[in-house]
Amino acid sequence: MGVTKEIIRPGPAGALVPQKGDTIIIHYTGTLEDGKKFDSSVDRGTPFETPIGVSRVIKGWDVGILGGENGIVAMRVGEKAKLTITHDYAYGERGFPPVIPPAATLIFEVELIGIKGKEEL
């Protein structure tokens, strides 16, 4: 249970890595295990910005993006990864009706576009 991460496209060597409290800029698409899409910043055409590691998003995003648990390594800017997140790291036993069913495992394809206020050197 928790988070598994599969790298779809690695970020460049030496790329920035987010730290706890950084505001990250990402594109994501979330699906249920059956493939049903429930949310996508890609479809909206607008990247999503959020502080990471400070409980503003589901725990699975904090772990999948920052790493440090279950052998997961932090994402680098430019990386695209598939995060499979069990319900205990997502919306729990209750889910998030009517969008997320109870005890749902969620799959997110996440691309880390940037870290607000930080630039590559």
Within 8 A by CB and 6+ apart from 28, the residues are 39, 40, 41, 42, 48, 108, 109, 110, 111
3-state secondary structure (DSSP) of residue 21: coil
Annotation says 108 is catalytic: yes
Check if the beta carbon of residue 105 is closer than 8 Å to that of residue 87: yes
Amino acid present at 88 = D
Pick the catalytic residue from 22, 25, 26, 28: 28
Pick the catalytic residue from 25, 91, 100, 107: 91
Annotation says 22 is catalytic: no
Annotation says 28 is catalytic: yes
Annotation says 38 is catalytic: yes
Secondary structure of the chain: what % helix, strand, coil (to 5)?
A: 10, 35, 50
- Active-site positions read 28, 38-39, 58, 91, 108
